[in-house]
A and B are shown apart, each in its own frame.
Chain A
Amino acid sequence: QSALTQPRSVSGSPGQSVTISCTGTSSDVGGYNYVSWYQQHPGKAPKLMIYDVSKRPSGVPDRFSGSKSGHTASLTISGLQAEDETDYYCCSYAGSYTWVFGGGTKLTVL
């Protein structure tokens, strides 16, 4: 069970859109529509932003959206705001009652 692959960092200017990728295999991302995304500010607990690939929990702005193609899932943040600058993690069900996270991506708002 290997961690999902995310870029270490991405950046964008306020108002722009950024996309964070999350690459796995047919045993996790490619095999199930159970991909979720988490936002984590320093010293805080992660917060669920997207579940089941593209669904948003109540209270999460619609600037956050998710998608999947093959073995790669993506989180897109549109209309970037300064408050979006932090770490993001993807997660996927990996079969046999296990879950695997990505290594995390640091988003910088320029």
Chain B
Amino acid sequence: QVQLQESGPGLVKPSETLSLTCTVSGGSVSSGTFYWSWIRQPPGKGLECIGYIYYSGSANYNPSLKSRVTISVDTSKNHFSLKLNSVTAADTAVYFCARVGDDAFDTWGQGTVVTVSS
């Protein structure tokens, strides 16, 4: 079955860019059946969808983050990525990647903690 694994720095300085990658195994990001998403969860808080992308590169973003977010896909490496620029302490969270299928987030990575601090 498909598995997702997030990777990237666990500590980012304020005003810099947060960069994460989600590697897909047991399946292909090129599958036209699914979208691929990023979701985050601040400490002790709820879930927030950051955005998602189709294998073609077409992406959609949460309006509240749209000005700072870029999600991209690399079909040759079977992974997709998140960049969030101008980060602040409010961006400290667990970041999950997830597959979107059947109108829901049906498969999740284990999550990676990102702390914004100098």
Interface residues of A (CB under 8 A from B): 1, 3, 34, 36, 38, 44-48, 51-52, 55, 57, 89, 91, 93, 97-104
Shortest CB–CB separation between residue B94 and chain A, in angstroms?
9
Q: Known contacts A97-B60, A98-B60, A98-B63; is A91 also within 8 Å of B104 by CB? A: yes
Binding site for A on B (CB under 8 A): 46-49, 60, 62-64, 96, 102-111
Q: Determine if B108 and A34 form an interchain contact, defined as CB atoms under 8 angstroms apart.
A: no
Count contacts between A and B, CB distance < 8 Å.
Answer: 58
Q: Is the CB of A36 within 8 A of B103?
A: yes
Partner of A46, one of B60, B103, B105: B105
- Which residues of the partner chain B approach A55 to less than 8 Å between Cβ atoms? 102
Between-chain CB contacts (< 8 Å), 20 pairs = A1-B62, A1-B64, A34-B104, A36-B103, A45-B108, A45-B109, A46-B96, A46-B105, A48-B107, A51-B106, A52-B103, A52-B104, A57-B102, A89-B47, A91-B47, A93-B103, A98-B49, A98-B60, A99-B49, A101-B49
